[in-house]
Structure 1
Amino acid sequence: MIRTVATTPFDDQKPGTSGLRKKVPVFQQAHYAENFIQSIFDALSGFEGKTLVVGGDGRYYNREVIQKVIAMAAANGFGKLMIGQGGILSTPAASHLIRKYKALGGIILSASHNPGGPKEDFGIKYNAENGGPAPEKITDAIYARSKEIREYRIADIDEVDIDTIGKVEVEGMTVEVVDPVRDYADMMESLFDFNALRRLFESGFRMRFDAMHAVTGPYAKEIFERRLGAAEGTCRNFHPLPDFGGHHPDPNLVHARHLYEEMMGPDAPDFGAASDGDGDRNLIIGKGIFVTPSDSLAVLAANARVAPAYTAGLAGIARSMPTSGAADRVAQKLGIGLYETPTGWKFFGNLLDAGMATICGEESAGTGSSHVREKDGLWAVLLWLSILAARGESVKEIVEKHWAEFGRNYYSRHDYEEVETVHANGLIKELRDRLPDLPGTQVRGLTVETADDFAYHDPVDGSISEHQGIRILFEGGSRVVFRLSGTGTSGATLRVYIERYEPESARHGLDTQQALAGLIAAAEEIAGIRRHTGRGRPSVIT
């Protein structure tokens, strides 16, 4: 039986850069998840009889919300749901299923790299029919609907078994539970030369992959150990857990410190990598060297031709504005386009769909290509392995040769987490008000060349996205960027990005924070971070 349930709007259901993220107790409020799911359906059209892909990263409350989606999709007239077994689907795997099976779109249940558990984070994101995050016109429509919703439709049904592969009928709708790994692993095998990678591991090459008790564990086990023959134990923390084992599934030097220390140790493996909660981010560490996400994007783009999928070359490279300019010089040498977008993978979708870009990346550990419309952690790891196999060099040798050819971008991000929103907004407003007066001024011996509030003019559809981050550019190519993150669930996260370009190889061996010390001090002086936030140092430095 299908019921129409009366409800009232919540005032906090505005999607961020990657959907709606809140603490689990917020989503557990009566009608809260249902209101947002119905708002998604109401913002769409023509979905009667169509297919919807559903899955998530296995975090706490994942299974319960999947049951709500099943009941509401049936009541709203969808023809079919494809659900990852056990409710598991990595974000890139969900994107692939949407594209491969020509689904209308997908609902991905994840809060990405945020912690999970009864009091931690949960998220709901809608991906469109191209497999990518919903564009702003859809997320704006979802938010508008959430502010006026008065009822939702739901079917009174028994709980559906999502642990057994197969099909069942629910109120005239087909629910198909699918292997969450197979289609994705098959796609990876079509993109890369798995025979060459098998030979790499047969040669004695050692790798450590940390799935952080998150969604990529089953994928990594299947690809690295079963299909490529890596030694058993190559994949660690590979069982997805609702609370990620009590850890924070963010692949950076703070939350994956144990991997970093192992890779810096005397008996380090040849290659180390990690991924995050929903499988779209990556951490790359070689023996004795951490590779920043910005440098990783540049190295991958410069060497992509070693993989069968990219032998014809790249159409272009896209990066988010806060990401370092390392990839810009690669694009220039290759004679291809370089596109600078706002933060958020949805901005890459138009470029990929139009065939203008092939590889995209963000400084927040996300890289991907035109094979899906999401960033893809395991894809990045496999391309790195392909480069290592083709060049026969270590990660450190490859990166240092890249710097010698293109110059080094010293780069770091300083995060001030859970800042009171009013103080974070005050800092940004004060900066915006000062922008006209900054060019030409001197700060800590540096001269401000330009200062602006980044606005993106989409070259495909002509849309304009304003207020995407405050940029302070200094003479000589250094810069500092300030922006507020849209991925947290409480307070505001102030992100400060510091970058210095160094063309001279003799100066490529400096400690990053030491090399950036003058810019870090200039950022504090320009923005008054301590004055606004009360923080004397960042919460996280990456």
Structure 2
Amino acid sequence: MASTFQVQVVATTPYSDQKPGTSGLRKRVKVFQQEHYTENFVQSILRSVRYPDSVVPEGATLVVGGDGRYYLQDAIQIIIKIAAANKVGKLIIGQNGLLSTPAASNLIIRRKADGGILLTASHNPGGPTKDFGIKYNCRNGGPAPEVVTNRIYEDTKTLSEYYMAEVPDVDLTKLGTQTVGAMEVEIVDPVQDYAALMRELFDFERIQEFLRVYKDQFTVLFDAMHGVTGPYAHRIFTVELGLPESVLMNFHPLSDFGEGHPDPNLTYAHELVERVRQESIQFGAAFDGDGDRNMIISHDWFVNPSDSVAVIANHAARFPKFRQTGIRGVARSMPTSGALDLVGKALNIKHFEVPTGWKFFGNLLDNGDIDICGEESFGTGSGHIREKDGMWAALAWLNILADMSLNAQKLITVREVVAEHFHQFGRHYYSRYDYEDVDLDAAKKMMAHLEDLTASQALVGTAVNGFHVTHMDNFSYIDPVDGSKTTNQGLRILFKDGARVVFRLSGTGSHGATVRMYLEQYESDRAKCFQDVPQVLQPLIQTALQLSKLTEYTGRSKPTVIT
């Protein structure tokens, strides 16, 4: 690559729709393909990120990669040219542009990079007519906080020019270092450093022994849903743990995710769900497009994500890292059930409730207040990185099952682990109803109706269908570390005896609106912890629909996805 180049100053017009959501800027591919659209946003990132008071410093190192979706490599070449023109010192890029979100976070931390640009729309569909996304991660490896994303957005509204290096495209297939003018570009194995991290965190020898001893009883199946986790699953499960390749499904990344929806839930991971049940698989796991979400399932039990993080936290002492140090605290997103809170209380450690969005865990992790955290939206993680981590969660479950089974000298199943947890803590019956692609105006009217109910407080102290309303609010959060305040994070209706309903508009979609309705009812009677979830929650569901007038406003008689 040439050592010098010309910098082209490109005149541009601002776009008004480049406000990042919960996890970056997500739009249809055709939106990013508009003239100057991607270039504008990347330039605004480089102009807006301050450490703490200046733009990205000359000579900065940035990690770049994504989940393999359509338009990935085009976007990376744009980033390379803009970064070189803006005097970035080095880019670390995953081979073929691939980096799972957890692996990118790990690289930022391990290589002491100044941040990273991640190209992903997470669990959203991919392809020429589907979604793409760009998000910025900070020096701690985590998603940029609102103070940074707001700064980027403000810059996009006034941007009048961007800078492009006039250089050939970089070969993303070739491992090693290349140069673009004064900037170094290092193409790295996307899996190597991440696999090494997992070996540090979990007892691979213990898991290997377990898989060997119970090879005829303990069957496994992993579905990467044609997302970026495929190469990671292949390296860790087959090379590191010695399982046959036949335990892997859909492990070749595809730009359109095989025309599927790479969201690991009972609806979109139906191929895995069907095989697990038909083949009596003891342990199944699915991962989303960028590898940060997970679903854990067996032939006779689906592990609700709220329960999953609680189980992992309760058994954290089985992992080599926490066996020595213990855990200092736990945290969950507000819509996530209170199961994790009970574990925190039992362990006599700190426990926090934060808004939806992994970035809200970042300060708590950096400050040493927590070690394990999770969201009901199939996100689970710990302080090893600053993103949720699907592979980490699956390995955590395998480590728990291995240790319990080898200690008991008999196979302990997923259902038995959960049953033991319910016996100790009781059960938070929980479900989330997603109404996708709802007309945005209709969704806003429904939320405004709930806002009015909340503001009036007329329902507090009354009973609705036998549910006694004790509290209503729009959740707000004051960060205990930096004192920043976040408001309007979800409308909550709390009832006597531990039941509650939460309504939110999702911030992860690329168009329209997704209305999320969260339902939770606590059961302390251990004899009643294995009832049918829909049956237990049905009265609460009807009450929630009645109070929200959801069907009346949106025209939807049933949800798109139930988890």
TM-score category, normalised to shorter length: over 0.9
Measure the CA separation in 2 of the matches of 1:317 and 1:31.
Answer: 43
| Separation (CA, whole Å) in 1 of partners of 2:523 and 2:111 | 47
Pairing 1:425–2:418 present: no
Distance of 1:187 and 1:381 partners within structure 2? 14
> Which runs of 5 or more structure 1 residues have no equivalent in the other structure?
none
How far did 1:370 drift?
0.2
In the alignment, structure 1 residue 22 sits paired with structure 2 residue 27: yes
Report the residue type matching 2:441 in the other structure. V
Match of 2:497 among 466, 476, 479: 476
Give TM-score scaled by structure 2 length.
0.95
Greater than 3 Å deviation, 4+ residue runs: none
1:202·1:229 contact (CA, 8 Å) conserved in 2?
no
The answer to whether residue 517 in structure 2 is matched with residue 496 in structure 1 is: yes
Match in the other structure for 2:468: 447
Cα distance per residue 1:186-214 (max 9 Å; x no partner): 00001111111111221203210000010
Give the C-alpha shift of residue 143 in structure 1: 0.3
How far apart, in 2, do the equivalents of 1:331 and 1:355 lie? 15
Judge conservation of contact 1:443–1:525 (CA < 8 Å) in 2. no
Query: In 2, Cα distance between the equivalents of 1:47 and 1:367?
Result: 33
Match 1:128 to one of 138, 143, 150: 138
- For 1:248-397, what aligned pairs fall within 5 Å after superposition? 248-265=261-278, 267-311=279-323, 312-392=325-405, 393-397=412-416
Measure, in 2, the Cα distance between the counterparts of 1:3 and 1:9. 18
The whole-number CA distance in structure 2 between the counterparts of 1:506 and 1:198 is 36
What corresponds to 1:246 in structure 2? 259
| Amino acid corresponding to residue 8 of structure 2 in structure 1 | R
For 2:223, the equivalent position in structure 1 comes to: 210
2:409 — aligned with what? none
Give aligned pairs, total: 541
Matched-pair contact (CA < 8 Å) for 1:192–1:308? yes
Q: Which of 89, 94, 99 lines up with 2:99 in the alignment?
A: 89
Mapped pair 1:400 → 2:437: no
> Is this contact kept in 2: 1:79–1:173, CA < 8 A?
yes
Mapped to 2, the partners of 1:440 and 1:529 lie a distance apart of 23
Structure 1 partner of 2:548: 527
Among candidates 127, 146, 162, match of residue 156 of structure 2: 146
| Alpha-carbon distance in structure 2 between the residues aligned to 1:47 and 1:340 | 35
With normalisation by structure 1, the TM-score equals: 0.99
Tell me what 2:36 maps to: 31
Matching residue within 479, 487, 512 for 1:458: 479
Supply the distance in 1 between the matched residues of 2:540 and 2:292 (Cα, whole angstroms): 30
Q: Which residue of 2 aligns with 1:55?
A: 65
1:372 maps to a residue whose letter is I
Partner SS for 2:284? strand
2: CA distance between counterparts of 1:409 and 1:262?
Answer: 28
Q: Deviations over 1:295-352 (max 9, x none)?
A: 0010000001101011121110010000000111000000001100000000000000
**Superposition deviation, residue 128 in structure 1:** 0.3
Tell me which moved more, 284-293 or 125-134: 284-293
- Structure 2 counterpart of 1:261, one-letter code: E
> Secondary structure at the residue paired with 1:476?
helix
Query: In the alignment, what sits opposite 1:104?
Result: 114
Contact 1:287-1:395 within 8 A present in 2 as well: no
8 Å CA contact retained: 1:81, 1:176: yes
Give the CA RMSD over aligned residues. 0.8
Q: Could you list the per-position Cα deviations for residues 258-294 of structure 1 after superposition, in whole angstroms to 9, with x for gaps in the alignment?
A: 22222223x3222100100000000000231000000
Find out whether 1:411 has 2:430 as its counterpart. yes
- Following TM superposition, by how much is the alpha carbon of 1:34 offset from its aligned partner in structure 2, in angstroms? 0.4
Task: Tell whether the 8 Å contact from 2:47 to 2:56 is kept in structure 1 after alignment.
Answer: no
Mapped to 2, the partners of 1:406 and 1:177 lie a distance apart of: 48
Give the partner amino acid of 1:98: I
- Output the amino acid matched with 2:43: Q
Of stretches 99-108 and 192-201 in structure 1, the one that deviates more from structure 2 is 192-201
Q: How far does residue 232 in structure 1 lie from its aligned partner after superposition?
A: 2.3
Deviations 1:445-476 (A, max 9, x none): 11111001000010000011000000000011
Bigger Cα displacement from structure 2, 248-257 vs 423-432: 423-432
Does structure 1 conserve the Cα–Cα contact (< 8 Å) formed by 2:371 and 2:382? yes
Residue of structure 2 equivalent to 1:41: 46
Structure 1 vs Structure 2: percent identity of aligned residues?
Answer: 56
Instruction: Report the more deviating stretch, 195-204 or 121-130.
Output: 195-204
Cα distance in 2, alignment partners of residues 48 and 269 from structure 1: 53
With over 3 angstroms needed to count, the CA separation of the structure-2 counterparts of 1:46 and 1:159, relative to structure 1, is closer
CA distance in 1, matches of 2:154, 2:135: 16
Instruction: Letter of the 2:81 partner, please give it.
Output: A
Aligned to 2:14: 9
Structure 2 counterpart of 1:113, which letter?
A: H
Report whether the alignment pairs 1:485 with 2:498.
no
Whole-Å separation in 2 of the counterparts to 1:90 and 1:46? 24
- Partner Cα distance (1:377, 1:75) in 2: 36
Provide the C-alpha distance between the structure 2 equivalents of 1:169 and 1:316, rounded to a whole number of angstroms. Answer: 44
Within 2, Cα distance between the matches of 1:480 and 1:397?
29
* Pair 539,46 (structure 1): closer, same or farther in 2 beyond 3 Å: closer
Equivalent pair of 2:342/2:425 in contact (CA under 8 Å): yes
CA contact (8 A) 1:287 1:396 kept: no
